[in-house]
Amino acid sequence: MAEAHQAVAFQFTITPEGIDLQLSYQALNQIYLSGVRSWKKRISRMRNRVIKGVYPASPSSWLFVVIAILATMYTRSDPSMGLIAKIQQQLPLSLHLSLSAQGQTMLSALVFSTLLWLSLILTLRFCLKLLLSYHQWMFEQHGRVSTTTKVWVTLLRLLSGRKPLLYSYQTSLPHLPVPPIKDTLSRYLESVRPLLTGPEFERMTELANQFECSLGNRLQRYLKLKALWATNYVSDWWEEYIYLRSRGPIMVNSNYYGMDFLFVTPTPVQAARAGNTITALLLYRRKVNREELKPSRVPGTVIPLCAAQCERMFNTTRTPGEETDVLQHWQDSEFVAVYHRGRYFRLWVYRAGRLLCPREIEYQIQRILEDPSPPQPGEEKLGALTAGDRIPWSRIRKQYFSTGVNKRSLDAIERAAFFVTLDDEEQGMKGDDPVRNLDRYAKSLLHGKCYDRWFDKSFSIVIYKNGKNGLNAEHSWADAPTVAHLWEYTLATDAFQLGYTEDGHCKGDVDRTLPHPQRLVWDVPAEVQVQVSSSLEVAQTLADDVDCHVFPFRDFGKGRIKKLRISPDAFIQLSLQLAYYRDRGGFCLTYEASMTRLFREGRTETVRSCSNESAAFVKALEGGEVAEQCRRLFRLAAEKHQNLYRLAMTGDGIDRHLFCLYVVSKYLGVDSSFLKEVLSEPWRLSTSQTPVQQMELFDLKNHPEFISLGGGFGPVADDGYGVSYIIVGEDMINFHVSSKHSCSETLLCLRKAGNIVHPGHGLFTLLPLPVKYLKCYVNVVSLHPASSTPCLTHTPPHPHPASPTPRLTHTPPHPHPASPTPCLIHTPPHPHPASSTPCLIHTLPHPHPASPTPCLIHTLPHPHPASSTPRLIHTPPHPHCASPTPCLTHTLPHPHPASSTPRLIHTPPHPHRASATASATFI
């Protein structure tokens, strides 16, 4: 092959006349330039080690200390208090003989200055570590910052004022503390109270008490010993036992996906999109290697987060083993692996030490797309080995891929910077059925065809035929926020910095002497092909069982929620609890991922979102409790959720501590019935928020169409849901929901309103409703805090601010057209059937059909107090325009502006789309 010959620097042949040496000067030049690039990277790493090693000081501060010491000595003062003289006495005899007395003094002063400088660095680093160990700021109410926190913020800004590198804060981050076992058990019992009956809770309490008094304290001592010795007492065990020791397929069960823009595809040219995407990813890798990325921080603060997960982002693969997998990472890689139509290629992205421009990478990708060669025998579906069970893949790899041509080709994939799939399908929202198109798009990224991704790579990029892209990431090396940061940068760089020409191609010039991408060669025997078919069957069964649904929720976003002084995350989690309760008629153990990256090498902690407070709120709402009581419970539930999230972030979570106690018990060879039961509880509702970390890159004000869909993952439990959501900008929330077809409980749902069974997809169908429901409900809390009457749908300001009565909405047609009584909106039974007070929300037939008194909506005081006749809602145009009686329900300007009677809203059978007034139907 031509590229193989070009890679040879020299050739020689032995002839009778001697040795004929043929040098390839072009190849030697390539080797020289690649070596220069490698040495530049080594020097850059050494420089960065020095800079981050002395942080929060700077290398130049050493010179300042030396000059200060020498200047003080020049004034005949001794700033060392005799230490310089003692250092001079300890100098080697050779220096005493070769240096003058003044030279010895200068050398001693330099040594003292350096020691003083290092001492100051350690002191500053210790102070910074103490400051970063303070977490009370997180528990203070918004707008009520204590004096201690203000002083803390000031000191933190002073110590971290110099521009830090990506890893500058690593040695200053505190270690994850081990919480008291008593506190953990107490919080655990509180978290399972809404899920257990009285006898079950008493039994669990007894088990917890027995564990604390017997085995628990012994395990806790071992765990504290590990916390003193290790950087993080959780992360290494979490990575090994949760991820690497799993013997089932990592496809769907562990890997997750990220999507492209929702409304925009920057170019329809597949090769061009691949060129820009690959270039953007490599530019990000360059920033990581040079540590030029800004350290991640808690949003809106100067508090840094651990960046350790960035170290294994590129040039990393997960290799299978009999008992446990291993993560392998290489320092550098100058190529990527590409899959197209059953064939594997090695694509070099550097030439002569220079990164190829996007147009050149597009040119190389187009060569792959136009390559007519067929797959080799057994090559097409080889990737299915990474999608099936781990033990068969480990055995096949050891037996058939550890030597020869197979090892060289496998090394090319595993040592690549990342993996690229050029897919022949078209994906995205556009088409006749955008809802189903998004679902297919999600499933394609989650598992594809089960053989056209390399699921062991740290991440794989998928470029579709119509220019859409996405990624699939392996989970063991990092969590979603780290990959999301990479993907945000990639999308923004692709669309706004690199850009495309008018005809959709990448910008730049092409060097047409570039060698062709290298086809990887395989020798796949029949035994391997049999195992490939077996792994593909396992993976295909799993993929067919997964159901995915993606829906952008655009009725409102975090902007509206935050105006109501509610945490957007708490709001969504309460919506999920309400949706699940309506779906299943009960509650379940709920997992929400929280990060512990405030600590060194921190990863995640679990927030148990189903709490006593959230359960009480949902039950009150569904049980028809009075509005004031529901409002109070809603506030309590949201505050409780926020507190649980803060505890998880600051190291006081429940599940990681119990998990580590369980691992210690296994090492000691002792069993705990309590820990076994806790660790075996299924997470039927697994949720995760993917925060947007670099919103400034997208400029949604000028380019609102460049909205990312976020990403998702498969369900954790066979009879549960996986829910991922991303809050984009101020007015949008994207949801990704997954479940399994094999579970009948997640296939159909029962809507509690009216006891009507609707075919659909369980939580998929129910979720948008509770989100709207709670938004409408929270409006009550914000707009009418003193009122006990629920506000059904109020968006614009009330036309009569002085009125204590909310504006109501009427939606369905009246069930009794002949009746003069308006039909109001109502879901649960009237809380007070015997009450004479009108029920403001009612849809079904009047609760008192025999009563001559209609169920009224009464707004302002009756203009005729002496009249005993109530004022009803009137919809059609007033039949008597000359009548002095005001027309009470119209949407256009009031026909009688001088009238003191308010205008009410009537919207049969559905509220008008063009109206600024939101629809508020309680189902």
Answer for the pair 263, 554: CB distance below 8 angstroms, yes or no. Answer: no
Give the chain's length.
Answer: 923
Q: Beta strands 459-463 and 469-473: pairing type?
A: antiparallel
**295 vs 54: CA distance, rounded Å:** 16
Q: How far apart are CA 593 and CA 655, in angstroms?
A: 11
Q: Are strands 721-728 and 685-689 parallel, antiparallel or unpaired?
A: parallel
Cα 595–599–605 angle (5° rounding)?
30
Cis peptide bond upstream of 56, omega within 30: yes
Phi, psi of 825 (to 5 degrees): -95, 130
Q: Please tell me the distance from the alpha carbon of residue 54 to that of residue 569, in angstroms, as a whole number.
A: 38
Which residue in the block uniquely carries the two structure tokens 């057994």? 378
**Max CA pair span of the chain:** 130
What's the rounded Cα separation, in Å, for the pair 347 and 861? 79
Q: What is the dihedral of CA 349, 355, 359, 360, to 10 degrees?
A: -50
Look at strands 721-728 and 732-740 and give their pairing.
Answer: antiparallel
* Active-site annotation holder among 175, 340, 447, 475: 475
Cα separation values, 467 from 137, 147, 634, Å = 46, 54, 45
Q: Among the residues of 654-709, which ranges form H helices?
A: 655-668, 673-679
- Hunting for tokens 């919103």 — which residue is that? 695
Q: Apex CA 33: angle with CA 32 and CA 34, to 5°?
A: 90
Has 475 been annotated as catalytic? yes
Distances (CA, A) of 256 to 18, 190, 736, 768: 61, 31, 11, 23
Cα–Cα distance between 209 and 187 in angstroms, integer?
13
The gap between the terminal CA atoms of the chain, to the nearest Å, is: 68
DSSP 714-733: --SSTTSEEEEEEEETTTEE
Following DSSP, what letter does each residue of 468-512 receive, concatenated? -EEEEE-SSS--HHHHHHHHHHHHHIIIIII-B-TTSPBSS---T
Say which DSSP state 337 is in. Answer: E
Q: Please say whether the beta carbons of 270 and 361 come within 8 A.
A: no
- Those residues with Cβ within 8 angstroms of residue 294's Cβ, 6 or more apart along the chain or in another chain: 164, 166
Residue 610 burial (10 A CB sphere; 0-12, 13-18, 19+) = buried
Helix (H) or strand (E) holding 636: helix 627-649
Q: Give SS3 for 739.
A: strand
User: 3-class SS at 350?
Assistant: strand
Give CA–CA dist 695/707, Å, rounded: 10
Rounded Cα distance between 603 and 307, Å, is 10
Cα 639–Cα 640–Cα 641 angle in degrees, nearest 5: 90
Residue 575 and residue 761 in contact, taking contact as beta carbons nearer than 8 Å: no
How far is the C-alpha of 53 from the C-alpha of 117, rounded, in Å?
Answer: 13
C-beta separation of 131 from 152 below 8 A: yes
* Helix (H), strand (E) at residue 593: strand 590-595
Give the dihedral of Cα atoms 488, 492, 497, 500; nearest 10 deg: 120
* Active site members: 475
